[in-house]
Amino acid sequence: MIHPKLLGRLLHINWVLVSHGLDELILATHLFRPVRFVALLSPNFWIRKQHEPRGVRIRRTLEDLGPIFVKFGQMLSTRRDLLPEDIADELAKLQDRVPPFPGSEARAIIERSLEQPVSELFAQFDETPLASASIAQVHVAELHSGEDVVVKVLRPAVEKRIESDVALLYELARLAQRFWADAKRLRPVEVVAEFEKTIINELDLVREGANAAELRRNFEHSEVLYIPKIYWDLTRREVVVMERIYGIPIGDMKRLRKEGVDLKLLAHRGVEIFFTQVLRDNFFHADMHPGNIFVSPKDSSYIAVDFGIVGSLTVADQHYLAYNLLAFFNRDYRRVAELHVESEWVPKETRVDELEGAIRTVCEPIFEKPISEISYGQLLLRLFQAARRFNAEVQPQLVLFQKTLLNIEGLGRELYPQLDLWETAKPFLENWFKEQIGPKATMKKVRKQLPQWIDQIPDLPLLAHQVMKDAVNGQLEVQWRSKELEELRNQMQHNHRRSITAITGSAFIISAAVLLGLDGYSPVMLGDAPLLTWVLGGLGLCFLVSAVSFE
């Protein structure tokens, strides 16, 4: 049973659709087909403003419905290959032209949050918003030190509206889970939970400032991306103050061409930035619609703003994703199918050869097209359709990655229609594999973990005594009955073997160091060190490398 408040919100959504002349969408649904005649009773049926195009009506509907719906429209606006041109043009206006709230309210929020009058905080403050979005709006200001800044202020009462809409999404997801055959595979409740976590994080502007600071560190000396500075003494949950940047909005194609910006280079750099964030840093800007991206005409570099939504992946998902993408680029459909089974993105009993055939059927016709006609968005849609017969489950943790990749491709195609996403991304994937696998990666792990292993050596006698004591008292008798417990036992055994190997290697190296430090002890020399020192050191290094390889 839907809560009365949620039912009221659902009715409000339908009323907004009707008031903007979109009642045909409601009456076209399966639920309302038997009662389509009620359209005759709708005042809008008789007084509808026929002069308003459908794109305008859809945009205004999303604006009236609130932040969550505006976010949905922003995401759609970057996919012109999936939308009619008139609707895409109107939805693009949602990126930074959402109706603002009064500047006097923004001033009041700033003074309440920072506990000082605006005149004391800033030398100048413009109450007319520079830009207005679904969650917050931005005002121009100048610090008393003379620095130009922007002040981002959270919309009044936005949290209550979002909480209401998220609660409604949960109810709809639970209904879908009960009555929709595909719900188990698509996992609607988990997807809504992931979306809730993302949008709630956007409501904390301190978190946004922290995200910006992390991205700024990651690209501190970069020539392709600039992140503005955060002024922490002027930042609170409802207010964030950051350096004002000057650039050309990436959607202003006429101005970009007029300024002589290299659009092909810009498109390739967009892909480079995204995969660098995902693979090198595992921390990526996940709201890269055109309203948040500017271009410096001097060097064709990107300038990013609005860091409320960021994404990261688990190490396991990062590896599976990288291997999947590289296999796609190489058209190794067998490996793609195997990875889907190994990662349990499809049930374990799935036949690899059948999944391989389905993936090949989807991909080959697309890859044979000219570069300008290949759309990653269309490929994803086709793959989702093919995966249905294998009960592939949606991975909520990958939704942000997929959304951002679609945005990047949409932006890139706007800049340079011949953009080859595959060829641009492939070198970054290959370099990532070189850094993750091989001798250099192994030695890097040794250096990172060696101090921890050495720190654990003094605790071993006490730990061994505790284990023997527990064994004598019968406290180690555990029944391993579930898959989770079996995996835990295997992991414990794995860690034990790795620790013993690492400790043995450390002992050899320490022994070598002790021998090297003994005065006059040099019965057999190799270079300037005793031969035994070289032997012990070599054995120690072999054991440490072996310990790392257990991972």
Instruction: Please give the positions annotated as active site.
Output: 287
What backbone torsions phi and psi does residue 421 show, to the nearest 5 degrees?
-55, -40
Which residue from 305, 289, 308 is spatially nearest to 75, judged by alpha carbons? 289
- Residue bearing tokens 């890097």: 444
The helix or strand, by DSSP H or E, that contains position 526, with its residue range, turns out to be: strand 525-526
Which residue from 152, 114, 118, 157 is spatially nearest to 133, judged by alpha carbons? 152
Amino acid letter, residue 106: A
Residue 422, both tokens: 């595959």
Cα distance between residue 400 and residue 379, in whole Å: 17
Cα distance between residue 442 and residue 440, in whole Å: 5
What backbone torsions phi and psi does residue 374 show, to the nearest 5 degrees?
-85, 125
What backbone torsions phi and psi does residue 184 show, to the nearest 5 degrees?
-60, -40
DSSP symbol at 245: -
Q: Residues for the chain: how many in total?
A: 551
User: Cβ distance 28 to 73 under 8 Å?
Assistant: no
Cα distance between residue 459 and residue 461, in whole Å: 6
User: Cβ distance 411 to 377 under 8 Å?
Assistant: no
* DSSP 3-state of 310: strand
Cα distance between residue 365 and residue 375, in whole Å: 12
* DSSP 3-state of 149: strand
Cα distance between residue 21 and residue 31, in whole Å: 19
Parallel, antiparallel, or unpaired for β 293-296 and 248-249?
Answer: antiparallel
DSSP states along 435-481 = HHSSHHHHHHHHHHHHHHHHHHGGGHHHHHHHHHHHHHTTTT-----
If one counts every other C-beta atom within 10 angstroms of the C-beta of residue 126, the result is 14
C-alpha pair distances (Å), 118 with each of 121, 258, 340, 341: 5, 39, 55, 58
- Residue bearing tokens 């990875």: 339
Cα distance between residue 235 and residue 148, in whole Å: 16
Cα distance between residue 387 and residue 359, in whole Å: 8
Which residue from 295, 302, 363 is spatially nearest to 331, judged by alpha carbons? 363
